[in-house]
Structure 1
Amino acid sequence: MRNILLATAALSMFALPAAAQSVSQPQWYGTAGYTHLDGEDADLGAITGRVGARLNPNFAVEGEGSIGVRDDDITVAGVNGSVEHDYDLAAYAVGVLPVRPNLELFGRVGYGTTSIKAEVAGFSAREDGESINYGAGATYFLDGQNGLRADWTRRDFTGDNNGELDTYGVSFVRRF
């Protein structure tokens, strides 16, 4: 009886690593690229980075951050000014549809914050807005780790900052 218990314990020691391997680890990825922000009154540009975790073949989560790099000139009541994008941060749930081994489509929904600064005739104002974001896109992988991503995202601002902002992005993707 004692030998049967020892043999069972020994076999369970081999089974634990096998069971742990059956639970898949998240596949991490990162992106870096350019995002065009198409606003009602201004068109802005930003450098955008993302870090994501693919939890299964059809679901991922990702965090995103952007820093403005392209401002726009505006005219308010005949007075010239400028609008600049300071930053934005967002988090998303991403649904993924693999179409081919190197092509996948995705849809995403999330929540974010955006900070924009305007300056007219020496006066400046900063506007921070919270938004519900949703969008779609595609990723094409050049090899097992590197790819290109194109996406569109709509930001629906909440509260006093009602309004919409469409973003169009192109990024390099790297799987880790």
Structure 2
Amino acid sequence: MRNILLASAALALLAAPAMAQSVSSPSYYGTLGYSQLQGDNVDLGAVTGRFGAKLTPYLGAEAEASFGVDSDTYSFGATNVKVKETFDAAVYGVATLPINPSFDLFARAGYGTTELKASSGGVSATDSNESWNYGVGGNYYIDAQNGVRADWTRRDFTNDGGEADVYSVSYVRRF
């Protein structure tokens, strides 16, 4: 029995370099683009940046942040209220399906926070809400480092049960 254990340990030591070579190092990417948030009463625009890491060809993680650049006005009774996204931030787990070297599809799920500012008649208020987020999209790469990304993400807000759809188009840069 002792010989079997020693032989197994020796074999494991010999196989360790081969196992290390089969694990690829992470690849990183960043995106910069425009996002359109469509909620129940508002349609808002934001500049969105992301930083991600593909830990394997199929799994990764990304963080995103957006800053509002386009507001919307809706009527609340006889009062017009101007709404603007102040910011949002989220983290995601990402599953990727490589179709070919120039095109891949992905699905992502994560958690984030969104802050909105509403103003009317010289009075303004800011509120934030957390959300569970999920969505799908695709990347098309023009060359080895540069590409275009399009995606849709649903935000299911936790406090009030509301939801919003976010559509994004972005430039992608692989590092």
TM-score range, shorter chain: 0.7 to 0.9
Is 1:120 aligned to residue 116 of structure 2?
no
Aligned partners of 2:20, 2:57: CA distance in 1, in Å? Answer: 18
Is 1:46 aligned to residue 46 of structure 2?
yes
Offset from partner CA, 1:126-164 (integer Å, 9 cap, x none): 1200000000001001011110000000000002x3200
Alpha-carbon offset, residue 23 of structure 1: 2.9
Contact 1:34 1:169 in 2 (8 A): yes
Compute the TM-score of the two structures, normalised by the length of structure 2.
0.87
User: Unpaired runs of 5+ in structure 1?
Assistant: 1-11
Q: 2:144 matched to which residue of 1? A: 144
Runs of 4+ in structure 1 displaced over 6 angstroms? none
Q: 1:28 matched to which residue of 2? A: 28
Alpha-carbon offset, residue 20 of structure 1: 4.9
Q: 2:57 matched to which residue of 1? A: 57
Offset from partner CA, 1:61-87 (integer Å, 9 cap, x none): 000000000011222111222001000
Q: Which residue identity is paired with 1:61? A: A
Aligned partners of 2:80, 2:129: CA distance in 1, in Å? Answer: 24
Q: 1:3 matched to which residue of 2? A: none
Q: Which residue identity is paired with 2:131? A: S
Q: 2:85 matched to which residue of 1? A: 85
User: Unpaired runs of 5+ in structure 2?
Assistant: 1-12
Contact 1:148 1:170 in 2 (8 A): yes
RMSD value, Cα? 1.6
Quick one: percent identity of the two aligned structures? 53
Contact 1:76 1:120 in 2 (8 A): no
Aligned partners of 2:124, 2:75: CA distance in 1, in Å? Answer: 14
Alpha-carbon offset, residue 35 of structure 1: 0.2
Offset from partner CA, 1:11-36 (integer Å, 9 cap, x none): x9xx96x7654432110000000000
Compute the TM-score of the two structures, normalised by the length of structure 1.
0.86
